[in-house]
Amino acid sequence: MLEFMQYPFMQRALISGTVIGVICSFIGVFVILNKMSFFANAVAHSSLAGIAIGFFMGLNPMVTAVIFGVIVGILVAFLKNRSVLSVDTIIGIFLPSSMAIGILVISLIEGYKPDLLSYLFGNILAVDRLYLYLSLGLGVLVLILLGILFRRYISITFDRELAKIQGINVELYDYLFIILLSITVIISTKIVGIILVSALVVIPPASSKNISSNFFQMVVFSIVFGFISSTVGLFLSYYLNLASGATIIMVSVLIFLITFFLKPVLNRK
């Protein structure tokens, strides 16, 4: 059953997919509790511009995508705090603008033009060694920082005013969280694609919320669901010859449906 693990590209796909699934599920808990799902979607779409700029300048597209995504995330947060416009309006401006920049830059590239479909829908089987190291490095960095700041983000998530009274610089930590979220979302686009990546951040913690009775359970279940979605989705995509990114998301959706229908049963206990 596991004969496909003899192939190096499948080994890289499994390792990177597992790491991304765990990180997205962990940070996703704070995303849905802070109602930032649309923000994750905007950052994902902005990565197209960063990827296009990377190809145009002859640089690694994932590196430029991370830089561009972080800049967009910070700008959205800055305007949210300084503008009279609502956050969904601000995101509604940046999302199509970033996509438009990406398409325009790609149209300027002479000769070979990158295959947009591989970036829009992902291709986990095309993960190379450089991306594996990049995703592992950035992923470990995100996990370490979230672990160090975990208690402060819990305070900010559940009571921002009390956090301010306790001396926590809420706005500074908001920016840091946005940077971490942007990095997580961008490095995940290689796995499930620009269009689907926000689902990897949102669905596992949403599934976890269906059956969790406290915050700790929500974090644990979310990470478990993210891990299962990535590994099972990859296995199914290989044996059924399906698109890997879409299969991972559909496994995640199935888990959500199961937990949704389990919720009334668990509540009666």
Per-residue pLDDT of 23-39, as tens digits, reads: 888 888 888 888 877 77
- Displacement of CA 224 from its chain's centroid (Å): 16
Q: What's the confidence (pLDDT) of residue 34? A: 82
Q: What's the confidence (pLDDT) of residue 257? A: 93
Q: What's the confidence (pLDDT) of residue 225? A: 94
* Six-digit token string for 116: 């947009």
* Six-digit token string for 8: 């190096």
Q: What's the confidence (pLDDT) of residue 252? A: 92
Spans of all domains in the chain:
8-195
The widest CA-to-CA distance across the chain, in whole angstroms, is 64
Question: What is the rounded distance in angstroms from the CA atom of residue 132 to the CA atom of residue 129?
Answer: 5
Reported as a single tens digit per residue, the pLDDT across 72-107 is 888 888 887 787 777 778 888 888 888 888 888 888
Alpha-helix runs per DSSP H in the chain: 8-33, 37-57, 61-82, 87-108, 116-121, 129-148, 150-158, 160-165, 170-192, 197-211, 215-240, 244-267
Asked if residue 31 lies in contact with residue 174, where contact means CB atoms within 8 angstroms, the answer is: no
Positions of the chain with pLDDT lower than 70, given as ranges = 1-5, 7, 111-118, 121-126, 265-269
Q: What's the confidence (pLDDT) of residue 261? A: 87
Q: What's the confidence (pLDDT) of residue 222? A: 92
Asked if residue 188 lies in contact with residue 24, where contact means CB atoms within 8 angstroms, the answer is: yes
Q: Which amino acid is at 87?
A: V
Please, which residues have CB within 8 angstroms of residue 160's CB and are 6 or more apart in sequence? 170
Which residue, 90, 113, 94, is CA-closest to 103?
Answer: 113
**Any idea which architecture 8-195 has in CATH?**
Orthogonal Bundle (1.10)
Asked if residue 119 lies in contact with residue 48, where contact means CB atoms within 8 angstroms, the answer is: yes
